[in-house]
């Protein structure tokens, strides 16, 4: 099969993670990857670290692309697409990972010809442990959705969701790694407080989160049932859980996701 050209517009953190994931995967031989950045300095740096072609010309990258992956900051999307509007055609697929920007907006800004897909990955995609929600937009067919599923499948799990839920996905799994780092940091502080070295406390905390998360995913049981397994009557865990309930951990986490979701909605306005 002929190679497809995948142009990544915005070779920053996420753009690089996607390029790297593809290059380390069986899809490598199927794509020629071109990246773009705003500055020459970033282009040379990304080219050096990734070993793919990186340019500051969105025009060249879009003109030669079969698939265009948008990974610039949300406020930059409209200008970039409108400036290059004449280059887009109906055989192209645009996949946008930009928070808050809808497939309808992208379709309008690029002149209404390419198929559009929206995706919301997260930073653990950098180590192929991410999760990405994807949805179909204007003109996208099954084959387009499958292509996006294959690409993000190389970077972790993929789930298909309605676009109306994407602000919520942004607030939950897009921003979620930051919430979890905060929890690891706090648990690590607790370890230090009880006399464990910072390094060992951080490893204990991080591995505990990872192990518990893997139990939820592998066993497909309700987290409450898994929590009960750890909680012996009159044991230590129930005292810890009581302290968490007193500190309103659950409602605080719910509020964090809702606040980030609201912010994602506001960014669109
Ligand atoms: N970070 C996350 O956790 C996360 C998760 C999910 C989705 N997202 C979405 O992913 C997108 C990118 O986020 P990021 O964290 O990867 O941002 P980032 O690290 O700041 O990268 C942005 C990239 O865009 C480039 N750029 C800026 N203007 C450009 C232009 N006119 N033409 C071409 N390239 C241009 C920048 O180049 P220079 O370095 O030269 O300025 C940089 O390489 C955002 O829309 C965000 O909503 C992010």
pTM of the model: 0.94
State the residue for tokens 């996420």: 14
Which 3 state secondary structure label does DSSP give 11?
coil
13 Cα: distance to centroid of ligand 1 (angstroms)? 7
Nearest in space to 177 (alpha carbons), one of 234, 109, 257, 255: 257
Atom of ligand 1 nearest to the CA of 56: 33
How far apart (Å, rounded) are the C-alpha atoms in residues 106 and 112? 8
Cα distances (Å, whole numbers) of residue 247 to 28, 186, 205, 241, 252:
48, 13, 19, 10, 9
Name the residue with the closest Cα to ligand 1, atom 17. 12
The band of 230, judged by pLDDT with boundaries at 50, 70 and 90, is very high
Q: Indicate the average pLDDT of the chain.
A: 96
Name the residue with the closest Cα to ligand 1, atom 28. 38
Which 3 state secondary structure label does DSSP give 212?
helix
Q: Where are the domains of the chain?
A: 4-163, 174-268
4-163 and 174-268 share one fold: no
In the chain, the N- to C-terminal Cα span, in Å, equals 43
The mean per-residue pLDDT over the stretch 56-75 comes to 97
The CATH superfamily holding the domain 174-268 is: ProC C-terminal domain-like (1.10.3730.10)
The CATH superfamily holding the domain 4-163 is: NAD(P)-binding Rossmann-like Domain (3.40.50.720)
Q: What is the pLDDT of residues 112-168, one digit of tens each?
A: 999 999 999 999 999 999 999 999 999 999 999 999 999 999 999 999 999 999 999
pLDDT at 227: 97
Name the residue with the closest Cα to ligand 1, atom 33. 37
CB 212 within 8 A of CB 226: yes
Q: Which residues contact 27 (CB under 8 A, 6 or more apart)?
A: 150, 151, 154
Atom of ligand 1 nearest to the CA of 122: 5
């Amino acid at each position: 099969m002929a190679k497809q050209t995948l142009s990544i517009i915005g070779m920053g953190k996420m753009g690089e993670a996607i390029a790297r994931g593809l290059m380390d995967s069986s899809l490598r031989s199927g794509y020629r990857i071109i990246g773009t950045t705003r500055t020459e300095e970033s282009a040379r740096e990304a080219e050096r670290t990734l070993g793919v072609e990186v340019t500051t010309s969105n025009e060249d990258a879009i003109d030669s692309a079969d698939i265009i992956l948008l990974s610039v900051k949300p406020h930059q999307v409209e200008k970039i697409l409108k400036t290059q509007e004449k280059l887009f055609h109906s055989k192209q697929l645009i996949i946008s990972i930009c928070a808050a920007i809808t497939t309808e907006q992208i379709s309008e800004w690029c002149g209404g010809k390419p198929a559009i897909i929206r995706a919301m990955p997260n930073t653990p995609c950098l180590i192929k442990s991410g999760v990405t929600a994807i949805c179909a937009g204007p003109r996208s067919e099954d084959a387009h959705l499958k292509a996006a599923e294959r690409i993000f499948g190389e970077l972790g799990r993929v789930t298909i969701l309605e676009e109306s839920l994407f602000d919520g996905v942004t607030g939950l799994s897009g921003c979620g790694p930051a919430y979890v780092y905060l929890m690891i940091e706090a648990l690590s502080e607790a370890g230090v407080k009880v006399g464990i070295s910072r390094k060992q406390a951080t490893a204990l905390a991080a591995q505990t989160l990872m192990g518990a998360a893997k139990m939820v995913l592998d066993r497909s049981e309700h987290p409450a049932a898994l929590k009960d397994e750890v909680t012996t009557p009159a044991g230590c865990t129930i005292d810890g859980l009581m302290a968490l309930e007193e500190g309103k951990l659950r409602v605080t986490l719910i509020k964090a996701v809702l606040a980030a979701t609201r912010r994602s909605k506001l960014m669109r306005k």
